[in-house]
Amino acid sequence: MRRRKTGYWLSCVIAALVLLVSGFSHSLVQDVSSIGSSHAIASGPSVGPQNILLMGLESRRDWNGNILPAGILSKLHAGNAQAVANGAGGNDTNTLILIHIPAGGKKAIGFSIPRDDWVHFAGTVGPQQQGKIDQAYGVSMFYEEGKLRQQHPAMGQDQLAFLGNEAGRTAAVATVEKLTGVHIDHFAEVNMDGFYELAKVFGGVDVCLKHPARDVNSGANFPAGRQHLDAAQALAFVRQRDGLPNGDLDRTHRQQAFLDSVIHQLRAEGVLSDLAKLNALLSVARQYVITDAGWNLLDFATEMRSLSSGNLVFHTLPIKGFTTIDGQDANVVDPAYIESIVRATFYPTPGPPEIGRAHV
């Protein structure tokens, strides 16, 4: 795959937020301001240095807990309604990318967090205190919804799903903070259906593969060489882990730098000067993107307007090896070492940072 790798769904979300600055009409400003409905965390500043967690949820349901229509499940190669009802997909955060924005907004540094890293959870609901890092969200959501069903048997599904997702977001953010030792100021989240809809607005993505790729589980089936992937193919491409030499670690490389590629695509293809495309993008974002309610996206986007694709640097958190825990394939990690490299990368100058302080 070429250096400008195609990433996971949240990257296109942030790229859109960063770039939706030029030529705002009043309605566009209002649309951007309306994104953000979660109170799962206490938001930090929207300008200046900040840490942002991107989360991609593997759920086959919408934000109200409804199973996605059969036609969408088929396009996403995500099974059928019966499989989803029996737990297929769950609510794992198959994408976790922690991004640091230094003051001035002219560059960004990010770490992909492999989903199989075995960690101690933080902020979770229920008795489970450790597991794969991608499970923190779903574990808390499961126990929170179970508790709510007992305490409020008449609670509607929409409210149940909302509160369950809120518990999941809180746990996912707190667990990443515990692993990396840095405070998270904001998050952006989208599910599989949301990525598909955003990818349709962007018109798909161009990739170049060194080798053919085929995976029955994700639906990936691509020849070697340069090619354009439509929205469904793009989802299959970024979901693939089986058949890759290093499995999920290779998938994190695909998750990285969609910020880079989408920023390039938006600038090169004139999306930002096309009012119809901007409106379509914001319409999808309002429906599918979840951010913390205290994040002023307009202020953030204004500060980030000078960000260029050449100033995006991504890494993957290291692992010590592989193991099997409770019957699950997992990555062995060294939290102290991870914290040291994240802090050294995000805050290379001596002295305690203003934002991103370590949790003790």
Confidence (pLDDT) at 309: 56
What is the end-to-end Cα distance of the chain in Å, rounded?
Answer: 40
Q: How confident is the model at residue 284 (pLDDT cuts 50, 70, 90)?
A: confident
pLDDT at 294 over 50: yes
Cα 127 from Cα 181, distance rounded (Å)? 23
Mean pLDDT of 49-59: 90
- Check residue 322 and give its pLDDT: 92
> Token match 């991609």: residue?
56
Q: What is the pLDDT of residue 264?
A: 61
Confidence band, pLDDT 50/70/90 cuts, at residue 337: very high
Please answer whether residues 256 and 112 qualify as being in contact, where contact means their C-beta atoms are separated by less than 8 angstroms. yes
* 50-57 and 186-191 beta bridge pairing: parallel
Closest by alpha carbon to 134, among 317, 291, 295, 315? Answer: 317
* Residues 47-75: b if buried by 16+ CB within 10 A, e if exposed: eebbbbbbbbbbbbbbbebebbeeebbeb
pTM of the predicted structure, to 2 decimals: 0.82
Most confident of the following: 18-32, 47-61, 66-80, 150-164:
150-164
CB atoms within 10 A of CB 41: 24
Which of the four pLDDT bands, split at 50, 70 and 90, describes residue 3? very low
Which among 11-20, 58-67, 179-188, 209-218 has the top mean pLDDT?
179-188
Higher-pLDDT residue of 65 and 226 is 65
**Cα–Cα distance measured from residue 264 to residue 309, given in angstroms and rounded to the nearest whole number:** 7
Choice between 79 and 54, residue whose per-residue pLDDT is larger: 54
State the average pLDDT for the chain. Answer: 79
Q: Are 144 and 124 in contact (CB under 8 A)?
A: no
Tell me what pLDDT residue 358 has.
40
Residue 72 has pLDDT above 60, yes or no: yes
Which is higher by pLDDT, 331 or 194? 331
Q: Which of 96, 120, 111, 134 is nearest to 359 (CA)?
A: 120
